[in-house]
Structure 1
Amino acid sequence: MLDVLEGPTETQFEFITFSAGNQSFCLEITQIREIRRWTPVTKLPHTPEDVLGVMNLRGAVIPIFDLSARFGLGKTVDNERNVVIVAAAGGTTVGLLVESVSEILSVNKSSIQETPDIKSEAARQAILGVISVGESMVRVVNLDAVLDTDGGMVA
């Protein structure tokens, strides 16, 4: 899966780290359009639990996903630190509700370790790799898998 992060082994990547489901994740900074304070969204009927609704972003209506719920980690609890990460991949723009945004992380490609084989296809699809940061691990989110609205990513 690391071949998605293209380039030579020592290429520097920058990620925005954030918390969802009390876990640390990150997205490549080039995928992020903006970070917004959480505001109520317009709910749509018959949507999965992880789809909170839609929001108007300067004239464009975008879906808002609860990333914690999307990953099967439970719904995000309302908190004043909650933010929406507006991200884009493959011409699709979405909002991802997360608990908080932490920092910008610059790492070499060689520092990104393969996702361990844990016998879960959903986990292998959702996470491109892991980065050791001190005593913790930060998971690199595969935004394309998050945008798979067929439900194939999360069991």
Structure 2
Amino acid sequence: MGEELKVIVFALGQEEYGIEVDKVRTIERMQPITRVPKTPTFIKGVINLRGIVIPVLDLRGRFGLNETEPTENSRIIIVAANEMEVGFIVDSANDVIDIDSDTIDSPPEVVGGIQAKYLQGIAKIGDKRLLVMLNLSEVLNKNEIMQLEQLEV
């Protein structure tokens, strides 16, 4: 048996994704986002969360998927990565589950149009469920981090 991982499960379209709980600060309902000029379209802007300004990315746009209008189920998942906090807009945040690290396989080159570099692996849950585990350091690679840090100023 491998290590037990606690994972937040969220959805983008029909696909389910996971982020380790220890990287997630909070999950928030959608709220007004202040647009910041001269940023890529997937960087939606910033929010003021309890006095802290947090950059917000649309994960659909980040992965090159079609962006959609937020719904009642849309959430902003606040993650801590590289000593900064960033919000990810997702279609819904469904669940917290435990998975065995031994059930995580290397990702294929592309999953649902998303490049493997953004993925840590694919976790098999039961017989039919697959969970795409995110590689946060790639989702927030140096180019994006530099742009996000400029937003915080």
Range into which the TM-score falls when normalised by the shorter chain: 0.7 to 0.9
Which of 60, 77, 85 is matched with 1:85 structurally?
77
**For each residue in 1:95-141, what CA deviation from the matched residue of structure 2 results, as whole angstroms up to 9, or x when unmatched?**
000000111121111011111245xxx72220000012342321000
Shift of 1:149: 5.4
> TM-score, with normalisation over the residues of structure 2?
0.84
Q: State whether structure 2 residue 55 is matched by structure 1 residue 63.
A: yes
Q: CA deviation at 1:83?
A: 0.6
Q: What runs of 5+ residues in structure 1 fail to find an aligned partner?
A: 1-8
1:63-142 equivalences under 5 Å are: 63-118=55-110, 123-133=115-125, 134-142=127-135
> In the superposition, relative to structure 1, how do residues 49 and 108 fare at CA in structure 2: closer, same or farther (>3 Å)?
same
User: Which 4+ runs in 1 deviate beyond 6 A?
Assistant: none
TM-score, length of structure 1 as denominator length: 0.83
- Counting matched residue pairs gives 140
Tell me, which stretches of 5 or more residues in structure 2 are unaligned? 145-153
Q: CA deviation at 1:19?
A: 0.5
C-alpha distance in 1 between matches for 2:77 and 2:19: 10
Deviation for aligned residue 1:24: 1.0
Identity of aligned residues (%): 31
Q: Secondary structure at the match of 1:150?
A: helix
Deviation string, structure 1 residues 76-100 (Cα, Å, up to 9, x no partner): 3221110100000120110000000
